[in-house]
A and B are shown apart, each in its own frame.
Chain A
Amino acid sequence: MKIEKVVKTRKVRVPTKTEVLNDCSLLRILPKRWQKNKIVIAAVTSLLAISMTSCDSGNIKIAPVFKHGVGSSYSGGMSGGPMPINEDEAKKIIIKEANLLGLKLVNKEIKIDQVSVPTTSIVLESSAKLWKISRYDNAKFKLKKPASFNLDLESDNGTVGIEYVSMSDYYDWSVPEENASTASSSKPLKAAEVLVQDGFKNAKSDKVKAIGVFYDPSEEKSVEMLKEQVADFVKWLKGQGLI
């Protein structure tokens, strides 16, 4: 046998520790055996106080954002990007896919309280100044005051709620940075992440036990990618013992 160099490796689709510690939502997922043990739960809560509390949402479990698709787009000017999936279209896709996977969803909104919607930013620039958009990639969205919020879909028994962050949501929640322009950028993935990490932190509901947040993938294969988000969410629900 001889030593043979490896020329190329494929990307491992698992986050690194640094990525997880920057987004603590994943650490909320506990083994079932821990969930059943009050002493362990107390230990987890106190030992991970900093990271856990920032993601805690009381009795509602918030699924992490399952990333399939870049979830950001640039439109207007000379650019022609992929067509967004609008709310109605997305709801149909989500319901159909979830039903196939064993999660019965109905096209009915469900209200939850104490939700802080992110104030998204639409960066309006002339198409000649596209570079400026990148300045906003790491900008932190501010949160609006907590208020009632209607999730887009609910499960047939009302215990699971779904929010789809569409381009129109993104625009509805936005405060334009500049006026007078022909081009804009939007980042529904980022808005979805802020919702999961902070927006639902104090969310309250008598009925809803789990929330999934999906986003417009904003890619050529957006429909497939949205289906993958649904599939991952259903797996997560099963892993949590919620369905």
Chain B
Amino acid sequence: MTRETAFKVIEGCSEYDSVGIIFFGGEPLLCKDLIKEIIDYSKKIDCVFNFKMTTNGLLLDDETISFCKENHIIVSLSIDGIKSAHDKHRKDFDGQPTYDKVVKVAGKLLLAMPYSTAMMTVNPDTVEYYCDSVKYLFELGFHYLICTLNYQADWNEKDMKVLKSEYEKLAKLYINWTEEEEKFYFSPFDAKISSHIMGEEYCKERCQLGKKQISVSPGGGLYPCIQFVNRSEYLIGNVETGIEKSLQSQLYEKNSKEAETCTDCAIRKRCNHNCGCINIAATGNINKVSPVVCHNEQIILPIADSIAENLYKKRNGMFIQKQYNEMYSFISLIEDNSEANK
């Protein structure tokens, strides 16, 4: 992305009170200097910016970590867990496994910014390490764990059985951590628990394709989500002329349409079947749901519900505050600050 394109994006944000900007790639730290320029330029614009960055960590040196800390850039590190899982798919440019380098970086990152996120991808050939990997990342210091299945991979029934058994182990872990009053977010379970607790609100908050978030390609094209970048049929504008509202609405309408395969399904209101981004990644069609998504949802929902019932029945304070108190994050931050000042 050129400097001009990036600055145009920042200038376009001036019509909003606050905007979140995520640097993603490929690998955004290949353009480290540009990121610094963008951050500096954003300070001249009348808008509150929240910056995030998703990185594989290979270029995340001490200086960059300090820069991120000073500028409140939340870093999400792509790390797949234990060595056996991570090194299966995470290789560097020379094809060498990256676990050792990334773990070293993770330690430094967490020391400087304890709220950094672990972005973990689970593949059929790493699913057997799922629980061990989550436990490992938590022990490493990541308390914000975003874990997703690689929906593009070739999953089969046997893999799904392993997935189920891993979710069951993870459920025990989730309950134990909550009972020990650990603060953490484990996206697969927390999102599903939320899908019950939030009720109708959850449906509204699901995939807001192109409405709340847009992705900008290096050339300045605007797309509804990261998965759509450089698919010309989903282009909804560019940084010069802005978003074409009619294209944006058309796409949103198209995505809102219930897939025929899912009408009347009892869990459709709590499921990700209507996430255009997942669908495009998994099937190449925003309205076509992948059987992997379907099976995953059917496996995970009852497990997540059991976790919620278990902790609710015990009237667990951490569970109740985390799930029901809208001020939870803020109070939690106050607690962390008060502990740090002791």
Residues of chain A having any CB pair with chain B under 8 Å: 1-10, 12-18, 20-21, 26-27, 29-34, 37, 39-40, 43-44, 47-48, 63-64, 232, 235-236, 238-240
Contact = CB atoms under 8 A, between A and B. Distances in A.
Interface of B: 155-157, 160, 181, 196-199, 201, 261-262, 264-267, 289, 291-292, 294-295, 298, 301-302, 305, 308-309, 312-318, 320-321, 323-325, 327, 330-331, 334-335, 338-339
A34 B298 contact: no
30 contacts: A1-B155, A1-B156, A1-B157, A1-B160, A1-B291, A1-B292, A3-B262, A5-B261, A6-B266, A6-B298, A8-B266, A12-B305, A12-B309, A14-B308, A16-B197, A17-B197, A17-B198, A17-B201, A17-B324, A21-B324, A26-B324, A31-B181, A33-B335, A37-B338, A40-B338, A43-B330, A44-B331, A235-B313, A236-B314, A236-B315
A68 B289 CA distance: 40
Given A3-B291, A26-B320, A27-B325, 17 more contacts: A1-B292, A2-B291, A4-B298, A5-B262, A6-B298, A12-B309, A14-B312, A16-B196, A17-B199, A17-B323, A30-B321, A31-B181, A39-B334, A40-B335, A40-B338, A64-B315, A240-B315
Nearest to A238: B314
A44 to B, nearest CB: 6
A232 B315 contact: yes
A14 B320 CA distance: 10
Contacts of A236: 314-315
B291 to A, nearest CB: 4
Given A3-B262, A3-B289, A232-B313, A31 B305 contact: no
A30 B324 CA distance: 11
A235 B325 contact: no
Contacts of B309: 12-14
A21 B323 CA distance: 12
Contacts of B308: 12, 14
A39 B196 contact: no
A63 B334 CA distance: 26
Contacts of A32: 181, 317
Given A6-B265, A43-B331, A47-B331, A239 B315 contact: yes
Given A1-B157, A32-B181, A16 B198 contact: yes
A47 B314 contact: no
A238 B316 CA distance: 10
B341 to A, nearest CB: 9
Nearest to B270: A9
Given A1-B155, A32-B181, A239 B331 contact: no
